[in-house]
Amino acid sequence: MTRWHCPLYKRFVRRCWNDEYFLYNPGSGQTHLLNQMALDILDLLAGEPLNSAEIQRLLAETWEIGDDARHAFAGRIEQHLGQLRHLGLISDGRFDDRRLLA
């Protein structure tokens, strides 16, 4: 199973205004406007790599998601993971962008 991680997490520069989160990624030079879920995923991936099931379980606890809504919640998380990967903010390990830090 894919294990997600966020190798550049410590180098991100973040700001928040009125519940809108802005993140500057020095790896790409791009600025991103993120929602709370995207930010929570990044925070989870600041430490050890996690797979999707682990992310879903941890976020469901934080967000207090009931059993009946778990399936839809998992779908949203998968969607966010895909988008964060596309933006270059997280990695699925196929390309180890920690090399960018060298």
Partner 1 sequence: MLFRTGPFLTRLDSPLPRLHELLRLLYGERPPEDENQLVDFHIRVYRRRGLRHLLRPQAVFVTDMDTPFYPFPLEQAFALFEWGLNYCIAMQAHQYLMLHSAVLEKHGRVLLLPAPPGSGKSTLCAALAYRGWRLLSDEFALLRPDSGMIDPIPRPIPLKNRSIEVFKAFEPGAIVGPIHPGTRKGDVAHVHPGEEALRRWREAARPAWVVFPQYDPRATTRLHDFAKGRAFLKLSGNAFNYPLQGERGFRAVDRVIRECSTWYLPFRDLDEAVATLDRLADDTAGPAS
Residue 59 dihedral angles phi and psi, to the nearest 5°: -70, -35
Site for partner 1 (CB under 8 A): which residue of 8, 9, 10, 24?
24
**Region from 1-9, 16-24, 52-60, 93-101 binding partner 1, contact rule CB under 8 A:** 16-24
82 binds partner 1 (CB under 8 A): no
* b/e per residue 50-68 (b: at least 16 CB within 10 A): bebeebbeebbeeeeeeee
- Least distance (Å) between residue 18 CB and partner 1: 6
10 binds partner 1 (CB under 8 A): no
